[in-house]
Structure 1
Amino acid sequence: MLTPFERMIAKRYLWPGKGEAFIALVAGISVGVVMLSVAMLVVVMSVMNGFRGEMLDKFAGLNGHAVVQAYGGKLDNWESVLQQVRETDGVTEASPLIEQPLLASFNGRTVAIYVRGNTEEDIGELQPQLLFGDLSRLQPGAGQIAIGSRLAANIGARVGDTITIINPQGRATPFGTSIRQVGYEVAAIFEIGLYDFDETFVIMPIEDAQTLLLLGDTVGLIEVKVTDPDNVGEILGSVAQSLTGRAQIADWKTINSTLFEALEVERVAMFFVLSFMVLVATFNILSSLVMLVRAKTRDIAIMRTMGATRRSLVKIFVTTGTTVGAIGTFAGLIFGFIVLYFRNPIVDGIAWATGVQIWDPQVRFLTSLPSRVDPWEILGIVALALGLSFLATLYPALKAASTDPVQVLRYE
């Protein structure tokens, strides 16, 4: 704790006098550099956390945290497997699923699509992503489908239009395999937020998908959601052993391993690199304190002759420098949160000013710039900035405490 004398002197040195404008300028620059470095760390790490989190949430919303995939594309006796998965500790939800890449044709245009056969409950979970139409119309045998917004834009389809889905693996005839073509009415248009999914996905009842793909009563996959996505492998370990030779379990880490590993490496690298900006900012604090000590050498000598201890001088200058770092740190937090709040308008403004689309959904997967603040990460950034600011004050403070008043005042 500071004594009233130490607190008064530290406060006085935080606001340099009229003849110390240059020292005040250097101190102001130190505050600004700390603020910008902390704000940049907060913004970059929160955006990267948001990108990873949004990707995981959207992938899990479509494919769950893991899928049980049959060898050969058909899972026989899938009802018993589904029951086993549902009874596994840590599993919150499991449902059958059919996925198959096919072709779709509309108004003379043919595009590649990804047909998904979902249960009624899974189709209902798309309600928050619904743009147009009515998902309740997707009933077995009704010939109704839901398509992604990008797919609808690419082929020019709207709710009520009929598109033709082409299955090259049709029925065998004496003249060869006939291509299966079935017309479906677009009952709904959705937007998940992942560009590739919105551009290719076609959702239909699982019974209609079985009919289209000639699967009979079998399914191809069982999607699974668990309580702890990071430990999905351990949760489903017993199920994987029991299905050896019949099916395999692929979790979200395996399915999207390249993407998520790249994100994790980039996240660690960015934090390491941007931490050097905080280090550079603390050098500014060190330089401003060194200049302050040199400018206040006579004052320090007078305080020593009046009875001020070396400990008091160390506390005064450590408090002065750490306060500068603390002001810059908390100003950086505020500035960083403001940037995060207005991140999408800022991106749009940069794109408008430069004429370059810096957030292209075709490249970034997501349609908007995400953000997710991790409180523990924010505490780590604050601790890093304050810790380096404190370390930067030690040399100038010890230098001030070692001042010999006799040498300084000899010629005064």
Structure 2
Amino acid sequence: MLLSRYERMIARRYLLPGRGEAFIFLVASISLVAVMLGVAALVVVMSVMNGFRAELFDKIVGLNGHAVVQGYDGQLRDWRQVLAEAKATKGVTSAIPLIEQPLISTYKGRTEPVLVRGMRVSDIRTNETIKDNVVVGDLSSLTPGSNNVAIGSRLAEALGASVGSEIQLFNIQGHATPFGTVPRVIPYRVSAIFEVGVYDYDKAFVIMPMEDAQNLLLMGDSVGMVEVNTVNPDKVDSIIAPLAAKVGNVAQVATWKSMNAQLFDALKVDRLVTFVVLSIIILVAVFNILSSLIMLVRAKTRDIAILRTMGAPRSSLLKIFMTVGTTIGALGIGAGLILGFIFIYFREGVVSFIGLVTGQQIWDPSMRYLTELPAKTDPVEVLGIVVMALIFSVLATLYPAYKAASTDPVQVLRYE
């Protein structure tokens, strides 16, 4: 929509407050602020929800893989054959044998449930989710037979343990005796403490060499599962289908989608509902633009009539008032983007400040899974928010602009 020189001059004049037009200017300013807050809220909330999903996905997949091949009775005795089949499957990038078993840990009278994970030493040291998040200690001391383990930071806090502490792990499935089954109680030295950022993992995981886990759980040469990673986690079902057919007689295959279906489905629904609700804020804001333009048209009726008698076509008046409303919306959108990005950058400080003022913990890791508030801004999504807000702003200008363009100068100036 190109404007001539005089149309731009008039539009610029109507954007600034005139004598006796302070109230109209106030309403227009409120409209701008409302659009700004609506756009900022959408950008911030959608970025946080994207970041939450991406961070949660990275942590879960980083520790559990895209899929797992698990024995029907909880053990894979011929796991080397399954491992070879997995590695030979097209689209599979890695396959790792694992042992996972919930047990009980104690330290100085404190008892906590744990999830013991046995891994090959090479896999422990190359797992980015673990090795990049070691808070204190060293993973190099985790060797078979050393009885050294790495534990999550939240578990360390709950037990009161630190590097060098000796915790005990209980396996109730111990040795049978004439007096019944005697649980196995084996001490382990904490050689490293890690914090992957997922509360449930940091609160439960005890990582040890696979040989030590087999000894603790009396599994012999068996493992619990084989973790599989693929080239595309979104297409894991089709990639893993040939493997599932080959190992179906000894094991079952579960993907990250099936294992975390409820969680990610809930996030998807929350994301959609949040977008719709916050979009209504922008819709309400553009109604303010509509009302301010209607008042402006009423205040400028005489000016409009004079312009019409001077030869201004209806299309010029239509473009002038559409430009005024769209400019208010565009300024609000620009200010909203700036405010939103500032909020995202300083989000941890904002959360801490709100918690300090209210006296409540706004981001509780035990409820939110992650220890920190994440954010991941999607440029395509931001562009969609901008386009949506701009379309709403343009639509809000149509009725006032039409009323201005349809003004009859004869009726207005008859009694002047």
TM-score normalised over the length of structure 1? 0.97
| SS at 2:407 equivalent | coil
Tell me the residue number matched to 1:293. Answer: 297
Tell me the residue number matched to 1:239. Answer: 243
- After superposing the two structures, state which structure 1 stretch, 51-60 or 114-123, moved more: 114-123
Deviation at 1:109, TM superposition (A): 2.2
| SS at 1:183 equivalent | strand
1:349-381 per-position Cα deviation (integer Å, ceiling 9, x unaligned) = 111111111211111111111111111111111
**Any residues of structure 2 matched to 1:271-286 within 5 Å, and which?**
271-286=275-290
Q: Give yes or no for the alignment of 1:227 onto 2:228.
A: no
| SS at 1:317 equivalent | helix
Tell me the residue number matched to 1:355. Answer: 359
Residue 54 of structure 2 aligns with an amino acid whose one-letter code is: G
Deviation at 1:206, TM superposition (A): 1.1
**Any residues of structure 2 matched to 1:102-117 within 5 Å, and which?**
102-117=103-118
| CA pair 282-174 structure 1, distance change in 2 beyond 3 A | same
Deviation at 1:85, TM superposition (A): 1.6
* Cα separation, 1, equivalents of 2:90 and 2:396: 52
* Cα separation, 1, equivalents of 2:308 and 2:351: 56
| SS at 1:180 equivalent | strand
Tell me the residue number matched to 1:261. Answer: 265
* Cα separation, 1, equivalents of 2:368 and 2:376: 16
1:24-65 per-position Cα deviation (integer Å, ceiling 9, x unaligned) = 111100000000011111111111111111111111111112
* Cα separation, 1, equivalents of 2:276 and 2:87: 42
Tell me the residue number matched to 1:93. Answer: 94
| CA pair 284-121 structure 1, distance change in 2 beyond 3 A | farther
**Any residues of structure 2 matched to 1:12-411 within 5 Å, and which?**
12-124=13-125, 125=127, 126-411=130-415
Deviation at 1:312, TM superposition (A): 1.1
- After superposing the two structures, state which structure 1 stretch, 114-123 or 275-284, moved more: 114-123
* Cα separation, 2, equivalents of 1:330 and 1:225: 42
1:319-373 per-position Cα deviation (integer Å, ceiling 9, x unaligned) = 1111110110111011011111111111111111111112111111111111111
Structure 2 residues not aligned, in runs of 5+: none
Residue 2 of structure 1 aligns with an amino acid whose one-letter code is: L
Deviation at 1:219, TM superposition (A): 0.9
| SS at 1:101 equivalent | strand
Residue 49 of structure 1 aligns with an amino acid whose one-letter code is: N
Residue 284 of structure 2 aligns with an amino acid whose one-letter code is: V
Deviation at 1:262, TM superposition (A): 1.2
Quote the RMSD (CA, aligned, Å).
1.2
Deviation at 1:21, TM superposition (A): 1.1
* Cα separation, 1, equivalents of 2:235 and 2:80: 25
| SS at 1:94 equivalent | strand
- After superposing the two structures, state which structure 1 stretch, 11-20 or 275-284, moved more: 11-20
| SS at 1:140 equivalent | coil
Length, aligned pairs only: 412
* Cα separation, 2, equivalents of 1:401 and 1:262: 49
Residue 268 of structure 2 aligns with an amino acid whose one-letter code is: E
Identity percentage of aligned residues? 60
* Cα separation, 1, equivalents of 2:242 and 2:346: 46
Deviation at 1:71, TM superposition (A): 0.5
- After superposing the two structures, state which structure 1 stretch, 346-355 or 382-391, moved more: 346-355
* Cα separation, 1, equivalents of 2:14 and 2:275: 33
* Cα separation, 1, equivalents of 2:312 and 2:131: 71
Structure 1 residues not aligned, in runs of 5+: none
1:266-290 per-position Cα deviation (integer Å, ceiling 9, x unaligned) = 1111111111111100100000111
Deviation at 1:108, TM superposition (A): 2.2
- After superposing the two structures, state which structure 1 stretch, 33-42 or 259-268, moved more: 259-268
* Cα separation, 1, equivalents of 2:187 and 2:352: 40
| SS at 1:36 equivalent | helix
- After superposing the two structures, state which structure 1 stretch, 262-271 or 9-18, moved more: 9-18
* Cα separation, 2, equivalents of 1:234 and 1:15: 61
Residue 362 of structure 1 aligns with an amino acid whose one-letter code is: S
* Cα separation, 2, equivalents of 1:92 and 1:10: 61
Deviation at 1:175, TM superposition (A): 3.7
| SS at 2:20 equivalent | helix
Deviation at 1:226, TM superposition (A): 2.0
- After superposing the two structures, state which structure 1 stretch, 39-48 or 74-83, moved more: 74-83
Residue 46 of structure 2 aligns with an amino acid whose one-letter code is: M
Residue 170 of structure 2 aligns with an amino acid whose one-letter code is: I
| SS at 2:354 equivalent | helix
* Cα separation, 2, equivalents of 1:4 and 1:68: 71
* Cα separation, 2, equivalents of 1:90 and 1:384: 39
| SS at 1:224 equivalent | strand
